Structure 1
């Protein structure tokens, strides 16, 4: 099996609300849409972010945990510290819950976090060194 992720699927309570946040607010382009069921956004060469109605998600994969912070983070890497702050501001403008402002990290990078309408945490990060060559387009 190849080391690869093709889809990241988030179970969301309100597909239209998630669409407003990601497509209208952040300016991402929907690739596939089925009203009240799913919005899929191409986020990489061969990677899709799927925002799937929670009830349909649970019907296929089983019940999900409710309450608290989902135990996963998603990351959006950028080329500079200034871009971290700009992306965090864009997310706030789209209605994101600002979790943390951009902060210098002990490991040498600069990151901040926001939460989407369902509480999924997005890290916005500038990573110094060779890791940036792997994760930046």
Structure 2
């Protein structure tokens, strides 16, 4: 065994909070990420968002911007003003305009992916963000 090899925890130890109001998108993403080995908790809206953060303690958030009640932009603003500001947020949105992307990134999102999302691109983005947490 090479002493220079660092064994990182598997994806199964990493928790992702998925906030997506579309049932089909939420189910598809949750099943795919579960298949990839992540522990997933999904919300259909942002009303219990911070309570869920406290209970679930995720390592990363996947956030849609168009949500019933409280939108993703507002959640991003609130995350930045909370103890959760270190948590990486990847926005997955149907909003394809440059202004939407810039606004989300300015509010603290680490990445911005446009729907329909390429699953390989999403997986790579998640792996990179989780890797950045450990380095």
For normalisation by structure 2, the TM-score amounts to 0.30
- Which of the pair has more CA radius of gyration? 1
Structure with higher strand content: 1
For normalisation by structure 1, the TM-score amounts to 0.30
Structure with higher helix content: 2
Does 1 or 2 have the higher relative contact order (CA < 8 Å, sep 6+)? 1
